[in-house]
């Protein structure tokens, strides 16, 4: 009986240990019972640190795992990831998937950004857009290249600031100090003159403002008179236009009479010219009808 009791106790201890081990493993690998999951896909250029079973987080909260990693294909040269997420995970249409880690020493995981509040929910089975985030290894490589470039820059700066160049720089600084010392008095005088000129300009501005204020009423009167004169000129122009139109109408109506009058003037002019010529040649016609008798020469 004692041996059977010990066997029962050992069996109970084994069963309890197995239960605790299973619970520990489920807690470590993030396995949850009783929760429905949905599948999504995403594609990345670089998945360093991710493996099948890697965690998928949403705002830092565990929501699933990477169930499968697919190699690039001719259609898509990126690496494909098949994700199993909890069904209630609000994956938005503008969410982004990227590889990151909580700290330097922690493992890499896949993070899904929350997206904007106004965006819709991405249907299960869809492809989550991704973005590339530089990993610590990539940053270390870039820092190594930067360190090499920095060393080259330091070496060139050291060559530039050799003893001869330092002497030249010291000479330039000495000449600059001398120039500043010698030119300080003219500069001060120029500054004083500039201050005086500024004050005079300000005074002129005040006078112009006062002149503008006092001449405002006169300027307004001048503008009023100018407006009246312009109105009168417009009316006079209109009247002149009407007069010219009437004169043109009159000329058009009496065109024939005017032409006959001009022809009569031309005939009268010719007759006057002929009469003048005859009077010049025979002036006696003004007092006698016939020419005087010719005188006989004895």
pLDDT at position 127: 93
Q: Beta strands of the chain (E only): which ranges?
A: 37-44, 55-58, 61-70, 79-86, 97-100, 109-112, 127-128
Of the candidates 124, 122, 38, 129, which has an alpha carbon nearest to the alpha carbon of residue 85?
38
Alpha-carbon gap, residue 119 to 223, rounded angstroms = 65
- Going from the C-alpha of 206 to that of each of 209, 210, 229, 289, the distances in angstroms are 5, 6, 34, 98
**Structure confidence at residue 96 (pLDDT):** 92
Q: How far apart are CA 7 and CA 196, in angstroms?
A: 113
Of 40, 45, 204, nearest to 128 (Cα)? 40
Q: What is the DSSP letter of 132?
A: -
**pTM (two decimals):** 0.40
* Inter-residue contact 73 to 133 (CB < 8 Å): no
Spatial distance between the Cα atoms of 51 and 69, rounded to a whole number of angstroms: 7
Break the chain into its structural domains and give their ranges: 1-31, 36-135, 217-282
Q: How far apart are CA 39 and CA 30, in angstroms?
A: 16
Residue-wise pLDDT tens for the chain (298 aa)?
556 666 667 778 878 888 877 777 666 655 555 578 899 999 998 888 888 999 999 988 899 999 999 998 888 899 999 999 999 999 999 999 999 888 777 788 999 999 898 999 999 999 999 988 766 555 556 666 666 777 777 766 666 666 777 677 777 777 766 666 665 666 677 777 777 777 777 777 777 666 666 556 666 777 777 777 777 777 777 777 777 776 667 666 666 665 666 666 677 677 777 777 777 676 656 555 555 555 555 5
Q: What is the largest CA-CA distance in the chain?
A: 218
What does the block give as tokens for 287? 């007092």
Task: For residue 112, give every residue at least 6 positions away whose Cβ sits within 8 Å of its Cβ, in sequence order, or none.
Answer: 56, 57, 58, 63, 89, 91, 95, 96, 97, 128
Tokens of 272: 């006057």
Distance in angstroms (rounded) separating the CA atoms of residues 217 and 53 = 91
């Amino acid at each position: 009986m004692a041996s059977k009791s010990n066997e029962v106790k050992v069996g109970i201890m084994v069963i309890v240990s197995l239960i605790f081990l299973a619970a520990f493993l489920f807690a470590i690998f993030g396995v949850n019972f009783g929760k429905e999951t949905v599948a999504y896909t995403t594609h990345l250029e670089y998945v360093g640190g991710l493996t099948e079973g890697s965690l998928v987080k949403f705002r830092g909260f565990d929501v699933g795992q990477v169930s499968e990693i697919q190699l690039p294909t001719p259609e898509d040269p990126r690496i494909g990831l098949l994700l199993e997420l909890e069904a209630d995970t609000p994956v938005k249409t503008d969410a982004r998937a990227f590889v990151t880690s909580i700290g330097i020493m922690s493992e890499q995981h896949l993070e899904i950004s929350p997206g904007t509040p106004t965006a819709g929910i991405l249907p299960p089975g869809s492809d989550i857009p991704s973005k590339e985030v530089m990993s610590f290894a990539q940053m270390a490589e870039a820092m190594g290249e930067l360190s090499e470039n920095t060393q080259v820059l330091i070496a060139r700066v050291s060559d530039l600031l050799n003893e001869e160049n330092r002497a030249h720089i010291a000479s330039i600084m000495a000449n600059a100090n001398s120039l500043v010392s010698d030119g300080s008095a003219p500069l001060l005088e120029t500054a004083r003159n500039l201050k005086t000129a500024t004050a005079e300009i300000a005074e002129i501005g005040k006078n112009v403002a006062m002149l503008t204020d006092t001449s405002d009423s006169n300027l307004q009167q001048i503008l009023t008179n100018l407006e009246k004169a312009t109105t009168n000129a417009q009316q006079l122009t209109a009247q002149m236009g009407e007069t010219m139109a009437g004169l043109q109408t009159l000329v058009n109506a009496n065109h024939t009479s005017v032409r006959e009058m001009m022809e009569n003037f031309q005939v009268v002019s010719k007759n006057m010219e002929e009469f003048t010529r005859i009077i010049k040649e025979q002036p006696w016609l003004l007092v006698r009808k016939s020419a005087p008798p010719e005188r006989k020469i004895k």
